[in-house]
A and B are shown apart, each in its own frame.
Chain A
Amino acid sequence: MASLKDVRVGETCTVSKLSGTGAIKRRIMDMGITKGTHIYVRKVAPLGDPIEVTVRGYELSLRKDEASCVEVTDVAKAAAQGVA
């Protein structure tokens, strides 16, 4: 199962399941990453972590550890910039 951590910059994906528990899982969901959400991975920080994604029309940053709690499918190259 691929996780959001493995999605490369410039690719989009769809959330299939959230693992993890507690504050981190709840926070990820509160920020709008729920089952079926489309995510576009916009960039990686200069030091390689965290990553920046576009979700529900805004920019979100999360650490790679946290991204590994998000299981995704349909990983594909984004058609154009700014599409989420």
Chain B
Amino acid sequence: MAEKIDIALAGNPNCGKTTLFNELTGSNGYVGNWPGVTVEKKEAVWKKDADVLFTDLPGIYSLSPYSPEEVVSRDFIISGRPSAIIDLVDVTNIERNLYLTTQILETGRPVVVGLNMCDLLEQRGEKIDSKRLSKMLGVPVVEVSALRSKNLDALVGTAVDSGRANKVAQGVKCFSPEVEDALQTIANTITGSCAPDLLRWYSIKVFERDSAAIEPLNLSKQQLEDMEKVIEAIERDRDDDSESIITSERYEWIATVMDACVVKAPGKLTVSEKIDRVVTNRVLGLPIFIAIMIGVYWVALVAVGTPATDWVNDQLFSDGFFVSSSGQAAFEEADEAWQDAHYTDQISGYIAAAEEAGVDTDGVQDAIDADPQTADDEATITEFEDAAEKAGVVATDVPVTDADGNYLDTEGNVITTLDEDGNPVLAEGQELDVLPTVTAADFATAVDSPEPDQHDYDGFVDSIPNAVTGWLTDAGTSNVVISLVVDGIIGGVGSVLGFIPQIFVLFVMLCFLEDCGYMSRVAFVMDRVFRRFGLSGKSFIPMIVSSGCGVPGVLATKTIENEHDRRMTAMLTTMIPCSAKLPIIALVMGVLAGGSSMWWVAPMFYLMGIAAIIISAVMLKKTKRFAGEPVPFVMELPDYHMPSIKSWALHVWERVAAYVKKAGTIIFAAAVGIWVLSNFGLAGWEGGDGSFGFLQAMDGAPETYMDYSILAGIGGALSFIFMPLGFGNWQATASTISALIAKENLVSTFGVLYGLGDATENSVSMWQGFANMFTIAGTLHVGAMCAFVAFNMLCAPCFAAMGTIRRQMDDPKWFWFAIGFECGFGWVVGLLINQLYELFVFGNFGFWTVVAFVLLALMLFQLFRPMPKWDEKDEHILDNLAEEPVA
């Protein structure tokens, strides 16, 4: 068996390196991040020989010490010592590409240069003499086409041979005689401190005074001072700094190579330039950008993505679905007829009337609702029917309710006011919609008309949780296991899988925009707006996407060009209300406006999200974490081109697979964790024995068993945190915790905790219950309610999004900083809303009002103070070699 060999792929961004990597490896690779940075790292073996391992370095223009991409690349080459390096050069842009080549040739590794896109060059009528180039560079040069898979075997073969023979590139003598002399002097001084292969590399880095690069040499003060004199002499002579001298002379040497090897054709407008004249046009640029964004939004969130995700969540993982449309139609018809007959209202109305008439109604409703009904249940019902008939019970004026359990008026509108007992309060001129009479016969019909069951209709496929529950029940599994598997595991996995269709659709589009070259134009067009807030022009895309779902939103930050902006956007983008937060908004609208046409309430939450992002970004930009040397926006605008279907598909696959692997594990663990917290606890209810266990299955567990769960305990213990925000009760805290699984859980948990059963965010009883939570002594504290909602909108997102942030940051410190900031910021906003409302509406002033004002003042200070002056000292390139190193 041949010896293993590892080959690094280096090259400029957009030189076709990703296409080459994909062509060489297929999709069998590892995709992750370089340690501690948000830069992607890819490794995979050659399709044709598993002994050849490729590492795809990030696309870079230089081996300078400034950007994380450049630093990881040069660290990998200098410390990782790959067996060989393939340097891919885009010949349509050869001057700038060779600049990186001159630096790679100095790293003392075997190098093979691949000339990519030679076909394009020929189309332009230009020619390149690759033999001559090979001679001038001193390494093999192979003409290839990554897109058409041409000559790739020869390229890799040459690299493997060079690597095996260890034919180390010598570097080119590209500098002027004086500089070469100085480099020779430096080389003589440091020889012995480093491997002979790296002597040229280190000499040049010493000349540039690159502190990080020369650190491993451990040079003595005397050596440094001697060399400093040599460098200073040249700098004085040239009236320029050493770094600039090196850069300029590299480009000057490349100009001579160009003259010798490349025949240029007279420039004319290429197709790409013609496209660009329209797309980034001063007048049309913005409208085109907005149109494309609306297109992405529409496809990802309206037309394809969200419906697909909803289907997975609501049908596959919740209710089940029909594969036969006739079966579905039949079911829907039956269901509608059943709803219109108001059987449930007849039953409850009749029972209430019977109770009034003195008939024993104990357990009757439960017996009717029981599924399956036992012989006992049936006996109870029959007994009741007989007794009621004997007593001659006839219910009159039974109120009608809709599917959400709301009372209706005669016009069919929902009655939005309830009194304390939950009875409807009518406005003037409004009439309650009622069934005039319900007789014993009607009651018997109602009892015998169960709600149509989807399972009884053709072509119905059960949802996964229902099907699994069925299997496990048939197999005689215990309740704990069923609940763990169905609610914990399937619930958790479902929340991961549910996002896949949406993420997939989104990345199909984003990868296209990225691969075809439009993404850099987005940054070009939008930079002016976003850089004020310390964000990138490309931050716009994650934010739009986040209004649908934060998970793909955070993933979309991958395309942002610099590390600070990437991190900032990943932290803040989930503050935009996502679709799972809509039920919470609906709930608040219900309480404030009774569900009527206060159309401006919902947009307010989006505005709040945008304002929160801008305020946070401006504040964070001035903190130590994000401040620092301004990051250059000097950026290539690559030619437009059509990406190959294959590399496009691989690109999408990589992103989706990465989400499933990394985010999936975290979401899964968290979902199971929350399941344990909310289902286990002490049986402390009346008649309970106080023992610890699985609550549902314990003797006499009430429907509101969650009150006794560990979650409730934690909620109680933590509720003091929210006291100043006006919602320091344990229910609010417990709902907030369970909302971490998915934000829409806030509403359902809330319903369970208050024993509201199946009430939804559209149920008047739910609005009432929600309002009661913030009602103290008969007054609704709107401030506290808004604080609660604001906190839940802005604090840590759901586990799915947190898992994605974790993956994106790839650094626990950054992850916790992000989550901590989100929660802290949400808390402060909640505090401000509650305390200011209390002060201005109720005139309440106290300790927390003072705290609120202090925090507000601090926020304003941080917002408006000038940007702290960045210390001009450059830690990467020293002013003087002999100076004390920066600690």
Contacts and interface: CB of A to CB of B under 8 A. Distances in A.
Interface of A: 18, 21-32, 34-37, 43-50, 52, 56-63, 66, 81-84
B527 A84 contact: no
A46 B424 CA distance: 58
A49 B634 contact: no
Given A32-B99, A46-B285, A52-B280, A84 B267 contact: yes
Nearest to B70: A30
Contacts of A60: 634-637
B286 A46 contact: yes
Contacts of B390: none
Chain B interface size, as a band, is 35 or more
A42 to B, nearest CB: 9
Interface in B495-535: 520, 523-529, 531
Interface stretch (B415-423, B625-633, B790-798): B625-633
Interface stretch (B60-68, B217-225, B446-454, B806-814): B60-68
Contacts of B276: 59
B248 A29 contact: yes
Contacts of B571: none
B118 to A, nearest CB: 16
Nearest to A52: B637
10 contacts: A23-B632, A24-B634, A34-B244, A36-B248, A47-B529, A50-B527, A62-B634, A63-B633, A82-B269, A83-B267
B61 A45 contact: no
B872 interface: yes
Nearest to A80: B267
Contacts of A22: 66, 629, 872, 874, 876-877
Nearest to B62: A30
A36 B280 CA distance: 28
A66 B528 CA distance: 13
Contacts, number: 136
A71 B698 CA distance: 81
Interface string B60-89: 011010110000000000000000000000
B95 interface: yes
A26 B630 CA distance: 13
Contact of A28 (B524, B531, B630, B632): B632
B283 interface: yes
A45 B524 contact: yes
B48 interface: no
Contacts of A37: 251
Contacts of B281: 46
Given A32-B251, A57-B267, 19 more contacts: A22-B66, A22-B629, A23-B66, A23-B632, A23-B876, A26-B66, A27-B61, A28-B632, A31-B634, A46-B282, A46-B283, A47-B526, A48-B528, A50-B527, A57-B93, A58-B93, A62-B632, A82-B273, A84-B267
A24 B630 contact: yes
B636 A58 contact: yes
A24 B874 CA distance: 11
B282 A82 contact: no
A68 B544 CA distance: 33
Nearest to B523: A61
Contacts of A34: 244, 247-248, 251-252
A47 B526 CA distance: 8
Interface string B234-269: 000000100110011001100000000000000111
B525 A46 contact: yes
A43 B284 CA distance: 13
Given A23-B631, A59-B637, A82-B269, A31 B282 contact: no
B577 to A, nearest CB: 27
Contacts of B525: 45-47
B447 to A, nearest CB: 69
